Amino acid sequence: MTTYLDANASETIRPKARATIEAAWRLPGNPASVHGPGRAARAMLEEARVRIAGFVGAQPKHVVFTSGGTEADAMAIHALGYNRRQLIGATEHDAVRSAAREAGILPVLPDGTLDLAALEAALAEGPPALVCAMLANNETGVIHPIPAIAALCRAHGALLHVDAVQALGRIPVDLAALGADSLAISAHKIGGPKGIGALIFARDFPTRPLIGGGGQEKNWRGGTQNLPGAAGFAAALAMNPPEHAVWRDEIAAAAQECGAIAAGLDAPRLPNTLCLILPGVRADLQLISLDLAGYAVSAGAACSSGKVAKSHVLEAMGLAAQAGNAIRVSLSWATTHEEITGFIAAYRDMATKLLRQAHLRKAAS
């Protein structure tokens, strides 16, 4: 049995979400139909919308269901970035980077948080902008100071889109407290199904859909809604166990004793996420060794391709030289302390073995 410590790639489905999805599959109706079965489907969809809105302090009418976080980010940039300059943080997810290809890149400080002075200078430089800043980074767990970013945006007439995909369920996410104009969230990062997410607006904005069609989602997104997905998403909403931060730090302390560096250690971070750099040891070798020992972790942002790519996040933090030596450990809502203890032992074995091999290789060359 493999111990799953890759929740930031995709969470283990929560039992309540699975049961709700199964119930939703039994409903034949289309939420747009006016007959009884259609109304039953519609009622379930709207109940999901209300619960999701309530979880982030938004109004149900401002929740637009999407196919996931990637589409929610793309929709926000398409709608709110229209006729505006676009500015994005250097450590944003590829979902944002690819939807805002022409954007100006805002640097981060060595601790991984957005450089507020650079943001202010960029905002002061030109016409009104759309700023994209993630609440928490998927590779390091670093939490950006969104309320301060929002205040700067407001002062300069800019809009702010926040990718809260990794933050949801791990830290409180409240739209008004953050001061964002829109939020992207995704079900499979919190124990809901894959393939459903939402873009949530703070107020009404002019409709500018990415996908046209039959007028669903108040004309924001054409296509029959993914009812089992939406219902499963709402049923998965819960906060992770409060012990995660302690467990994360237990792993970090043990890894540091082995010679590892934890990225973003000086910044506020998600309780479930740890980015560990083992200097001189390739990330793929670490992954394989831990996999053979029965522990599933990942290298950087390998959440879609599964391949070990160079991390733009660590590069932006000034850790380019070590970017190929980093693995990400991300705890699931289902993780137990026994699994943490087992992982620490496996990490020690892996680090001892691979550091010795790296040392021998260096001595021989």
CB 110 within 8 A of CB 152: no
- The tokens describing 321, both together, are 């030289």
User: Minimum distance between the CB of residue 267 and ligand PLP, rounded to whole angstroms?
Assistant: 16
Q: What's the closest the beta carbon of residue 10 comes to ligand PLP, in angstroms?
A: 8
Least distance to ligand PLP, CB of residue 163, Å? 5
The dihedral built from the CA positions of residue 15, 20, 26 and 31, taken in this order, carries a sign that is negative
The residue at minimum Cβ distance from ligand PLP is 69
End-to-end alpha carbon distance in the chain: 39
The gap from C-alpha 92 to its chain's centroid, in whole angstroms, comes to 10
Name the residue nearer to ligand PLP (CB basis): 5 or 346: 5
Q: Could you tell me the CA-to-CA distances from 134 to 28, 94, 155, 180 in Å, in that order?
A: 38, 11, 19, 11
Query: Angle, to 10 degrees, between the axis of helix 244-257 and the axis of helix 337-364?
Result: 20
Q: Is 132 designated active site? A: no
Minimum CB distance to ligand PLP smaller for 216 or for 330: 330
Taking the complex as a whole, how short is the minimal distance between the CB of residue 264 and ligand PLP, in angstroms?
14
- For residue 12, count CB atoms less than 10 angstroms from its CB and return exposed for 0-12, middle for 13-18, buried for 19 or more: middle
Cβ-based nearer residue to ligand PLP, 209 or 229: 229
Closest to ligand PLP by CB, 11 vs 181, is 11
Cβ 169 to ligand PLP shortest distance, Å: 13
Contacts of residue 307, defined as CB under 8 A and 6 or more positions apart, other chains included, come to none
- Residues found near ligand PLP in the complex (CB under 6 A): 68-70, 73, 93, 95, 134, 138, 163, 165-166, 186, 188, 197, 303
Compute and round to an integer the Cα radius of gyration of the chain: 21
Catalytic hit among 132, 153, 275, 303? 303
CB of 95 to ligand PLP, least distance (A): 4
The CA distance from 262 to 252, in Å, is: 7
Three-state secondary structure along 105-124? Answer: EECECCCCCECHHHHHHHHH
Is 179 or 197 the residue whose CB approaches ligand PLP more closely?
197
- CA 222 to chain centroid: 25
Token pair listed for 91: 């450590």
Strand pairing partners for 185?
Answer: 198
Nearer to ligand PLP, 196 or 287 (CB): 196
Catalytic residues: 303
